[in-house]
Structure formats: structure tokens, C-alpha cells
Amino acid sequence: MRKTANKTATKAAQQLDQLLAQIALDHLFIETLATRNSDSLDFHDVSVWGVKSALVAAYQAGLAAGQSAAAKATDRPIQQQAAWPLAMTAISDATCQPLESVRTFLDSRHGRHFADDVQNGLYTGATLAKAINAATQRWMGWTIGRQTAKQYGAPEGLPYLTGFVIHCEITELSVEESLAA
């Protein structure tokens, strides 16, 4: 997963570099944006209208990229509907905890942090299932440390995801018991 994310980020950076180089050439008449360690090659006199033209071109390119991303996001409600059962199953399988406990975790602030991790995976271009699985594996790879164990009462060394699923279930049960009393 990390290699795919790095390749995606590298490709995006290369595309951005190419776009900026083209804008510099078309609007500022600068042949390259590479540093050449020479004042006569690295510093240029440009007109204010050339700078304005380059800034407008960069703005329009950003606007077009944003509109493209918004168009891709039109299927987001469908993804959100699909995310819940995928996440429930992946977390339950990884932690060996019942689906009800996983639901409680996903409804908590810790679950929202988990969802942010999934969203980061989607941002890198991963499919929904792969983003959920990667986040699940990442959270299972982390372990509860001394400070977190003290703060939440989860055993030190327990996988992070397992610990917080159990913590959220225990917290919900204690709230229900106090309301019933």
C-alpha cells in the first residue's frame, strides 16, 4: 500500500511540475524551473502582466482540478453507504469482536479518526475496500502504550484497534447501566 501511495504522490508531483513548467514557459518565457546555480539562469526579469497571466493560468488549472475532483466525488454517497458494512466486517474480523461492539467504536470519536485514516487512503487513489483494509491493518499494527493504557484502561501491548473497540463497548455499557439505575 505504501508503495502505491508513494507512486501516486510521485506521479502527482511530476504532473504538477510539468504544469508549472508549461505555465512558466507560456506566460513568463522561462525555459525551465530547474535550479541551475547561476544568477543569469535562475533569476529573470518579468513583466507584471506576465506574472498576472501566469497566476491566472495557475488558478484556472487549480479550479479545473478541483472541478474534476468534485465530479469524481459525486459517487461519494454510494461509497459512504458501502463503507459501513465493509468497515464493520473488516474491523470485526481483525479484532474478533462482535459487530455491535464495532458499531459502537465507529460511532465514537475514535471511529471518526479511523474514518479519517480510510479517507486518507481514498485520497491516495486506493479503492474503498483497500483503504478500509489498509487502515484496519495499520491500526492493528499499532499497540497500546503505557500512557494510553493509563488513560483508557486498555491493556498495554494490545493492538490499538482491538483496544479501542473494547474500550468503546465498555464505555457504552457503563453509560447504559448508569441510565438504568
pLDDT of residue 132: 94
Percent of the residues in the chain that have a pLDDT greater than 90, as a whole number: 41
Last residue of a domain, one of 74, 91, 116: 74
Amino acid identity, position 133 = N
pTM: 0.56
Compute the distance between CA of residue 20 and CA of residue 12 in angstroms, rounded to an integer: 12
Q: What backbone torsions phi and psi does residue 135 show, to the nearest 5 degrees?
A: -65, -40
- CB pairs under 8 A, 24+ apart, for 69-75? none
**Same-domain check for residues 131 and 47:** no
Contact 124, 5 (CB under 8 A): yes
Compute the distance between CA of residue 144 and CA of residue 110 in angstroms, rounded to an integer: 14
Q: What is the mean pLDDT of the chain?
A: 85
Q: Which domain holds residue 161?
A: 75-180
Contact 57, 27 (CB under 8 A): yes
**Same-domain check for residues 80 and 158:** yes
**Same-domain check for residues 146 and 158:** yes
Domain total of the chain: 2
**In terms of pLDDT, which residue wins out, 75 or 97?**
97
